[in-house]
Amino acid sequence: MENSQVNCKIEKEKLGELAEYLKIISDENRLKILCLLKHGERCVCEIHETLNLPQNLTSHHLKILREAELVIARREGKWVHYRLNDEKISYLTELYREIVLGG
């Protein structure tokens, strides 16, 4: 009972979740943001200045990352600090490993 159709059916529900994740992180600017946040929490202005992205574009990408729960926002006064959601990223990385790599 271990054929590829069965396997693909089992993984099918997770496939959409993985595809959505991959789509979100397949943007160069969003990858840069994630890469930057690996080194710790950053506010929006730090992100857009460091990466040389317009403020509104940075905000836009952060919204997408935030809605996908890949990053977590924390307001402190005027500033909004963003950090990685490590658990979510770990979970989705495991999904990638499961679906794309070994069974």
Partner DNA sequence: ATATTATATCAATACCTATTGATATAATAT
Partner DNA sequence: ATATTATATCAATAGGTATTGATATAATAT
Give the residues lining the site for DNA (CB under 7 A). 23, 27-29, 43-45, 54-57, 59-64, 73, 75, 77-81
Near its own copies by CB under 8 A: residue from 1, 5, 56, 78: 5
Residue in this structure with the two tokens 């990408």, named with its chain if needed: 61
Choice between 49 and 94, CB closer to DNA:
49
Could you report how far apart the first and last alpha carbons of the chain are, in Å? 14
Instruction: Give the nearer residue to its own copies in terms of CB position, either 34 or 64.
Output: 34
Q: How far is the CB of 102 from DNA (least distance, A)?
A: 25
Identify the DSSP state of 3.
-
Question: Using CA atoms, how far apart are residues 12 and 18, in angstroms rounded to an integer?
Answer: 10
Tell which positions 27-56 bind its own copies, by CB under 8 A. Answer: 27-28, 31-32, 34-36, 38-39, 50-51
Strands laid side by side in the 71-76 sheet: 42-43, 79-84, 71-76
